[in-house]
Amino acid sequence: MQVAGTPLKVLIVYYSSAGHTRTIAEQLAKTAQADLEELRAVGEPPGTGARHYFWALRRLLLSQKPVLLPVQHDASAYDLIMLGSPVWLGTFSPALRSYIRTAPLAHRHVALFCSYRNAPGSAFKHVSRMLRASIILENTLSFLDPVAAGTGIIAIRAQRWVHELEISLSGQAANRL
């Protein structure tokens, strides 16, 4: 990604249980030349079977905050952090919310994306409330069943979204001059 001819350092932090959000994150990483950070929780059952489903449901219903395995990238070293998650019960996954609570995201530019099966609901609104100290970009990317849509469509939407973010960041840079 570039703003006014200057390359931006972009980090994509995401959680994905069944791989849908991962397909978007990987395409965004190619398009934006970004680093990727996949979140996993301590004690999270592998795969997407019944054990994993009930593990996820328990954390959602009890509003539990899973402890994350150590991350590899320091968000404070990046100009823009993209945060992506599946929509779970109308909000972002507990792992992503754990990350938001602990990562150095204050005063940093943040952009949000999600994958979903029925409706994204107010997931972005809910997460934005947790990110009050960050500079949240208005353009979001919500993707209905990206695996079914296919890599061609994911690539087109990823390119379009990254372009929109570049325009938005260029506008903010121009306003500061």
Binding-site ranges for ligand FMN (CB under 6 A): 16-22, 53, 56-57, 86-90, 115-119
- CB of residue 108 vs ligand FMN: minimum separation in angstroms? 23
For ligand FMN, the closer CB: 121 or 168:
121
For ligand FMN, the closer CB: 142 or 168:
142
- CB of residue 14 vs ligand FMN: minimum separation in angstroms? 8
For ligand FMN, the closer CB: 66 or 86:
86
- CB of residue 107 vs ligand FMN: minimum separation in angstroms? 28
For ligand FMN, the closer CB: 22 or 157:
22
- CB of residue 161 vs ligand FMN: minimum separation in angstroms? 17
- CB of residue 152 vs ligand FMN: minimum separation in angstroms? 18
**DSSP assignment of the chain:** -EETTEEPPEEEEE--SSSHHHHHHHHHHHHHT-EEEE--BTTPPSSSSHHHHHHHHHHHHTT--PPBPPPSS-GGG-SEEEEEEEEETTEE-HHHHHHHHHS--TTSEEEEEEEESS--TTHHHHHHHHTTTSEE-S--EEEESHHHH-HHHHHHHHHHHHHHHHHHHHHHHHHH-
For ligand FMN, the closer CB: 65 or 166:
65
- As a whole number of angstroms, the distance between CA 63 and CA 171 comes to 38
